Structure 1
Amino acid sequence: MFGYVVINKPELKFKEFDVYKSFYCGLCYSLRSRYGFVGQFTLSYDMTFLVMLLTSLYEPKVAHSEHKCIRHPLKAQPMSSSIYSDYVADMNILLSYYKAMDDWNDDRSVLKLAFAKLLKTKHPDDGFDYNKKAEVISSLLTELGTREKENETNIDVMAGLFGRIMSVLFVPKDDQWAASLSRIGFFLGKFIYILDAYDDLEEDIKKNHYNPFKSICNEQGFDDRIKGMLQMMMAECSKEFEYLPILENAEVLRNILYAGVWTVYYKNLKERRGEDVASDNIIKEND
């Protein structure tokens, strides 16, 4: 994934960070158990947020265990997992597979095709509607790729397509919370797409790659315009989150929505301006 939906570590209590990390390790274990080592390559903090969100909302049984892994071969790591750890693992593989296939169709990258074939593994039937989700994700990624080839400059269209993909992932079942979860996924997805395009802008210009901001990046007030877009997306996302009756892990989830998602943005903004960057609040994969 992208690595934008993370915690702001200094603002978390030690216990809260331990809980967050245990769900991260739990997701890693689910990916390894269901898809082998290739599954672990798709692990991300973005999806850890979804595991915690769904687990905290639906309050299923949470299994607590300790396991060693390649990254921690000597000391067993605390892990927390639920049925939604497995659901998110499956959704992560589903998205990674279709993204790899989309890259293969666009660039004819043999590595992407090989990765996609490795990901194409049958998963257990946990009662979730995978087939419908697969069709929607595949269709939206295809449309996203087509729009990129057409050099679409309407950021609302492009971010909206990725937002729709994320909205599908955020809804495990059709119930009273589906609408709010869908909207959280939609606006968070738009935030991710906008921030990713903004983050990649300089490199995309150098390499002559597609980026929806190329035509406006030299306009006065461009940075402020992007910040305004991002603030709008997170305001809608956070509003929907507050409608949900979540008590368990609520402060960790709020940390992510109100502070964590901005850590990469401000880090990159300082780098653009040539300012010193404090990295204490940027969580890394080996933390």
Structure 2
Amino acid sequence: MFGYVVINKPELKFKEFDIYKGYYCGLCHTLKKRYGLRGQFTLTYDMTFLSMLLTALYEPEVFQEQHRCMAHPTKKHLMISSKYTDYVADMNVLLAHFKAIDDWKDDHNVLKLAFSKLLKWDNSDYKQKADDIAHLLDELNRCEHKNEQGIDVVSGIFGKIMAILFVPVNDCWSATLERMGFFLGKYIYILDAYKDLEKDIKKNSYNPFKSICNDEGFDDKIKQMLTMMIAECTKEFESLPILENANILRNILYAGVWTKYYE
């Protein structure tokens, strides 16, 4: 369900793209340090955005290093990280752990169960977050199994999960980050369901759009939903006092998130 919160590369300057790639590589490197190779398998562009967002908002000490890696063994690459990269790496693995367990419950895929055990996520610092996310994933799973057709219901549950991930600490920015994560999460869920609709119909799998996909103006309705969700998300973003890498973050929110839709 991830991979939608990406850059629109043609609209970025070369220097901006290098910075974005540095954050991506920085998160990848942090995942390896904290969780090994199995942690790197959970890497997503969506969480790269969160790492960059939190670092830009809170302005902690930023570390820039040059490293080689398995993906780029012949040349060192820029890796940018901060203490929020550590937080995002933990959240990335936490979500991947629960998603693998959820997939195991859903289709008894042994590989998913094995992967969840390999991740071995166990961080008491985020016990409340872990409990809340597990509860919401169970709720989402129940809704999907009873064929819930209310897109606002199911996308709202996923929005709540993203809202939890977007808040590293309770402070004056918590409510704004929470709302931003909520609406971005709803956008991701709606777009993912729209993208998978044809496949889900063929496989007779769950999809909240099955009952309305033949209605007149269906595609326009989906675009209107997506536009509303990202509009609410960007409204919250613009209320944050972000200067560093603001152009890159805007590129993602105003253009990048639409690239998968237009594909």
TM-score, normalising length from structure 2? 0.98
Equivalents in 2 of 1:193, 1:216: separation in Å? 17
**Secondary structure of the structure 2 residue equivalent to 1:181:** helix
The corresponding residue for 1:31 is 31
Aligned mates of 2:262, 2:121 — CA distance in 1: 38
Residue identity opposite 1:22 in structure 2: G
State the match for 2:127 in structure 1.
131
* Aligned counterpart, 1:210: 206
Q: Partner of 1:90 in structure 2? A: 90
**Equivalences for 1:44-193 in 2 at 5 Å?**
44-123=44-123, 129-193=125-189
Aligned equivalents of 1:121, 1:207: Cα separation in 2: 32
* Cα distance in structure 2, aligned partners of 1:215 and 1:7: 33
5+ residue gaps, structure 2: none
Output the CA distance in 1 between the equivalents of 2:184 and 2:104.
26
1:238 Cα deviation after fit: 0.2
The C-alpha deviation readout for 1:11-70, integer Å capped at 9, x for no partner, is 111111110000000000000110010111110111000000000000000000011111
2:235 to 239, 254, 267: 239
Residue 229 (structure 1) aligns with: 225
Does structure 1 conserve the Cα–Cα contact (< 8 Å) formed by 2:93 and 2:121?
no
TM-score of the pair, normalised by structure 1? 0.90
Which stretch of structure 1 is more off in the superposition, 104-113 or 152-161?
Answer: 104-113
Gaps of 5+ in 1: 268-287
Q: Structure 2 CA distance, aligned partners of 1:177 and 1:147?
A: 31
State the aligned residue count. Answer: 263
Deviation string for 1:81-133 (max 9, x for gaps)? 0001110000000001011111112222111110000111445x7xxx50000
Q: CA RMSD in A?
A: 0.9
Q: Which residue identity lines up with residue 162 of structure 1 in the other structure?
A: F
CA contact (8 A) 2:94 2:121 kept: no
SS of corresponding position for 1:66: strand
SS in structure 2 of the partner of residue 49 of structure 1: helix
Quick one: percent identity of the two aligned structures?
A: 68
